[in-house]
Amino acid sequence: MKTGRCDTLAEVPTLLNKGTRISLMLPRHQTITDEIKYETSSNTWNKNYINYIDVIRNYFNYRSNLPNSLSSKLINIDFGNDVVAHTADKHLPLTTHVDIELKLTPKKIISSRFELCKNENFRQCKYKWPYRSYDGSCNNFENPTWGMAQTRIWTPAVASSGHELPPARLLSYHLFPELRIKDPIWTLLTMQWGQIVTHDMAQLATAPNFNLPSTSCCDENGQLSKQNLNNPECFPIVIGNNDPIYDRHITQCLTFSRATTDYQVANCRLAAVSDSNQSAEQITMVTQFLDLSNIYGSSERAANILRTQSGGRLRTQILNHREFLPPVFIMNSSTFACDEDRPEQVCYGAGDDRVNQNPQLTLLQTMLVREHNRIAIILGHINPHWFDETIYQETRRIMIAQHQFITYYEWLPIIIGVQNAFDYKLIYHTDDIDYIDDYNSNINPTVLNEHSNGAFRVLHSLVAGYLKLVDEKRSPSSHKFLRLSDWFLRPSIIAKADNLDDLTRGLADQPEQTRDEFYDHEITEFLFRGRNRLGGDLRSIDIQRGRDHGIATYNDYREFCGLRRARNWADFSDYISPNNIEKLSRLYEQPDDVDLSVGGSLEINAGGALTGPTFLCILIEQFYRTRVGDRFWFETPNSVAAFTQEQLSEIRKATIARFLCDNSDNIRTMQRRAFEKPSINNPIVKCADLPSINLSLWKDYTLELPGQQSKQHFSILYKK
């Protein structure tokens, strides 16, 4: 099916009548919220509501340019007629009115959501339950599936010229070479915390997640698989004849399978109305809130497996008299992977099956579990009448609150710029404010495809190919290094000798790479290489994944985000260097062809941020949604279980530095701002001198009766 781009609403009906998917371009002051109501006697529709916002919502507006309220459409669907939309005001007086007529069939509209079979037995929300669900459901009472696991990620149509795009590997090699430039300020911990955040918010579904057969597009020798050459699920990264690294006679392709979609797993009643023109939507396997699904899991089953069911603690194993993540076999899942070559070497289990990808990721997830158990032990001690469930849930709440505070107030301003974080109301000055009361049930916190498969991947340029091990004396002469590709999927390294502490100090001492167009060869030539000479190319994967997901072009998003739409190559010169523009003109046929992942990554950084303006626009939009659309956000006063003002003040004492100190094996010193390199203005101090949370404020003075969860307990503990 061809794809069309429309600059005005008037063009939409024409494109849709031609059977064309649309990427809707609206002025930045306009936005649309559409809701579809099925009214038919057929059991297929059963008067369900489907949120159609994703098909044409122009969410790329900067927050300052949004109208005071949104226009909404009520679309009545009848099997025998076209769809007619009419304007319907939605609650607020200052509504931006947009008139439009759409001609869609139920078959086309059915693809706008993944709710499918799994939600036919959707459980009723517990309106007075003070804790988050494990799968993210019921965060929003009006839209209980928003942000939950196993729902789709938003996908706009691709604006394409119709010509074949240049191979992803060709773009990777020519546009993103290796040049190791150290960041003058920020440590490698900044990069690594970014992976914790992105794994918490999104995970692409793969065939094994749904017990579907997986497809290998290339054989073990790197040759195109003749058996699967015509398989529609194959989308291999083809290697060119003159590739200087992957010689074509040795490697023809790098395996890349298309993302699992709702169309593939729709084996229930909705599949009956699908057809070949249906637009498939990608699925995320984790909750889309910032809720530490990495360690707690995204389902009740996973959460129960990861718990000891005693004292509110999470399961661990003891290795060399120290606490580490539990062994992978407890998860009983085929999606976890390790590359250990001896049975005595460990492979870890966690709430996220990517936990073993690299040593630093495994290290931080180990520390998160240790922090949970540290807090649980303290809460159990000061509240001996609490049962396992109460200790666990209260600890989980505190953990998520710390995570949200560190991420938004300490880490995010580094990525998007301090002033942007305040200007776009992602964070607030908290010296003169207690709660932040701006939760909005109309804001969908679902992760944007352009965020997880575009803007957020720009942080891959921060990755360092060699990991520094730093001892307690921090003597430069004693520093050792690990080669990153030697330890992909081999997590046992962190449990050996003093590696956990030495790698932790290394994270807080070693500078990350600068955010630019240069990528370390460890991730562009040796990714997950195992025992092989070469591995994969993460930059090629980033580009290929954007195409797989149907993400529109860089030029489209430039315009969405307020930049001038490029009509010729020179128009890119506002944020892309002349050298890179010249390369783009040789690799692509026209400016409208440039992939979002490519163009956004080539932009020079906007003032104060570690990204250019296009990706900055998308990141701001996503992190605004993530906060304002979360009913359980730690600063809200309105949740059933909002923190008291005193408790909230303690949460705001959390720092990444104290987190590292408390959960290491034997680290005694750390700089106060661990995302920032040690310096005269950021000296290394004793861990004991760093601020810590006073958990005595969670002392419960009620008495919980044996065998019951006291409602009085909740009302008194959270009394404001």
Closest by CA position to 354, among listed 583, 211, 198: 198
Known catalytic residues are 199
Domains identified in the chain, total number: 1
What is the domain extent for residue 33?
A: 3-112
3-state secondary structure 274-332: CCCCCCCCEEECCCCCCCCHHHHCCCHHHHHHCECCCCCCECCEEECCEEECCEHHHHC
β partners of residue 527: 536
Asked if the structure places residue 489 within a domain, the reply is no
Per-residue pLDDT at 21:
31
What angle in degrees, to the nearest 10, is found between the helix axes of 499-507 and 359-382? 100
Which among 253, 182, 187 has a CA at the least distance from the CA of 520? 182
| 381 annotated ligand binder | no
Element (DSSP H or E) covering residue 591: none
Does the residue 61 lie in any domain?
yes
Residue 57 falls inside a structural domain: yes
Q: Which residues of the chain, if any, have pLDDT below 50?
A: 1-122, 149-159, 207-211, 262-279, 706-720
d(C-alpha 613, C-alpha 605), whole Å: 7
The maximal CA–CA distance of the chain, rounded, in angstroms, is 78
Which helix (H) or strand (E) element contains residue 21? Answer: strand 21-24
Query: Is residue 64 domain-resident?
Result: yes
The pLDDT of residue 349 is 96
Q: How many Cα atoms sit within 13 Å of 84 on the Cβ side? A: 3
Q: Which pLDDT value is given to residue 655?
A: 99
Q: Is residue 97 part of a domain?
A: yes
The reported pLDDT for the residue numbered 626 is: 96
SS3 80: coil
Residue 42 within any structural domain of the chain? yes
Q: What is the pLDDT of residue 548?
A: 85
Does residue 79 form part of some domain? yes
